[in-house]
Structure 1
């Protein structure tokens, strides 16, 4: 026991040699789980941790200080490293080579000790170091410690790694231990993975819906362009023949598809059939109805059936269906967002380049 104490005393003297010219004699001992006693200074422990301060200066027998601080539950070497960080009291020690090696080797024990004894700067440094060295075979162990030590950032990073590489995590010994002895944590991890999958699916659905609204807004713009200005072989009914270069086409591919639909609608014999209109004619009618909801022109609109749809709505007295109004609102929003995005791209292209120094 005495040899161990002398060994740790020498190590502390070497560690603090650069900071202390004359190191005062120790006045306390840190007792570890192995039964060893590490010499230390009460002032250093008290200044580094409020918990150690309350333990170190608490009177024990006959109103006197015993000078013994117990740090149990972790290996003795981890306690030595923890005390070395307390003696340094400098965050730069975490970024040194010795500090990185210590966190890589004893990071789990150090974050537990720093949380228990409220050494916040060391706890944050251990969070960063453990997050940088995460792997599938030890992420569950780090996750357990992060949860117990209230390390929210480290907890989220562990969960993200588990979701990203869950098949590899399932092969680890820590995961098998959790399945046998900690069903609550297992359920929490599985629930988190399920929530992440649902958020991804919801995000993809929202993205698909936004793309659909963008395409509908583009179709509305092309429909107005075709019916007011004319494009290639389709144009306003009062202009014959339509000009092939009248105005600028918003989208040639969408415009071409709409022209095919409009020509089919004009010549299809099944659009008023009692058996039911053909799907292509239904699609054109839906576009016309959607346009009538978003159109602000009263009688001057040249889009077919726009006036008829408005008159039918007023005659029914019930207004448009709520689903159609919601769809029209989202289409208008998509059109505005698309227009703003186009303006931003044009502004970035037209932005002059910065002049180099020395040029006029």
Structure 2
């Protein structure tokens, strides 16, 4: 910040004080920066903005604040000037809901120093604004420094945002000088980061596995619809014997890909050698057998005779006779429950899309 910009900022502060005031009291306190600069301020503004500054001003020299100096050291002069500028311009309004573009830019420029100052002097709105500004400007090059600062300044939202960026772009962060410094001088924080990365990896794996399972249940639900469609109406070269409708009169396939796969399974099952199937076991035949059993498990036809899928009644009777006998029945019941849930969710999604149209 140039000298001209500093003077212009002080003039803006002065104009802010003139609003609604006929007589402007003279500045009675000076802020001393690390560079030896002395910024004239008003004790009433400092006391109303920060409880820490209020405690300092209300100390042993209470009532004799004129000419007093408050040192704010350890940060650049420009950052202290921006801190004071923010205290004045936040006076009398809800700062969290009303931040101009110029002020946002200023907070973003001095974000790390303003976060440290707002934490040290307990200026809550400025601390939240600095957190937001730093969150929007995080990069792989500087995320480690911001992470350390967020930990020391008790900024959990910013801390989590830094860890998320580390998890997303750790390969780039590993190449930075800040990460190598952290490895040499703060092994506990390094361990904390690596544990977070490990847990994030496990979460991603669980989410991927859950999505894969949901896709499987949705595909099985589509296969059940296609099985009913093939057995009731016919599809392609496969259909009920003696009742196969002409192509133009058949209802559309629920899913062309699933229908084609099921038709191939049915054709193979009809042509597969029975002795070979019974002695060695045919994987494709077993797959169709399992689909027929799954259909019987979720079939909701009130009258079993009205279901056109083969072996539906036989599978239902067999399941009633063998209920609870095998340990795998629990796993099968869970599969049936998941496919039935996928069926309900599919119907709800279709209904919602129809209502939106």
Report TM bin, short chain.
0.7 to 0.9
* 1:210 and 2:211 correspond: no
| Corresponding residue for residue 254 of structure 2 | 250
Identify which of 126, 131, 145 aligns with 2:130: 126
Matched residue of 1:29: which SS?
Answer: strand
Q: Give the alignment's Cα RMSD to 1 decimal.
A: 3.0
* 1:172 and 2:176 correspond: yes
Q: Structure 2 stretches of 5 or more lacking a match?
A: none
Query: In terms of mean alpha carbon deviation, does 212-221 or 84-93 score higher?
Result: 84-93
- CA distance in structure 1 between the aligned counterparts of 2:8 and 2:312, rounded to whole angstroms: 89
Matched residue of 1:20: which SS?
Answer: helix
CA contact (8 A) 2:28 2:65 kept: no
Matched residue of 1:157: which SS?
Answer: helix
| Corresponding residue for residue 342 of structure 1 | 350
Identify which of 274, 287, 291 aligns with 1:283: 287
Q: What is the Cα deviation at residue 38 of structure 1?
A: 4.1
Give the aligned length.
339
| Corresponding residue for residue 14 of structure 1 | 11
- CA distance in structure 1 between the aligned counterparts of 2:141 and 2:339, rounded to whole angstroms: 49
After TM superposition, the score normalised by the length of structure 2 is 0.83
CA contact (8 A) 1:313 1:319 kept: no
The structure with higher relative contact order (CA 8 Å, sep 6+) is 2
Query: In terms of mean alpha carbon deviation, does 41-50 or 244-253 score higher?
Result: 244-253
CA contact (8 A) 2:147 2:162 kept: yes
After TM superposition, the score normalised by the length of structure 1 is 0.83
Q: What is the Cα deviation at residue 339 of structure 1?
A: 2.0
1:147-197 CA distance string (max 9 Å, x none): 222223322332232222222222222212111111122222222222222
Matched residue of 1:59: which SS?
Answer: coil
Q: Structure 1 stretches of 5 or more lacking a match?
A: 1-6, 350-360
CA contact (8 A) 1:264 1:281 kept: yes
Q: 1:271 to 1:34 in 2, by over 3 A?
A: farther
Q: 1:101 to 1:247 in 2, by over 3 A?
A: closer
Q: 1:341 to 1:20 in 2, by over 3 A?
A: closer
* 1:156 and 2:164 correspond: no
Q: 1:234 to 1:219 in 2, by over 3 A?
A: same
Q: 1:36 to 1:257 in 2, by over 3 A?
A: closer
- CA distance in structure 1 between the aligned counterparts of 2:334 and 2:58, rounded to whole angstroms: 69
Q: What is the Cα deviation at residue 128 of structure 1?
A: 2.3
Q: 1:52 to 1:309 in 2, by over 3 A?
A: same
Q: 1:39 to 1:213 in 2, by over 3 A?
A: same
Query: In terms of mean alpha carbon deviation, does 201-210 or 85-94 score higher?
Result: 85-94
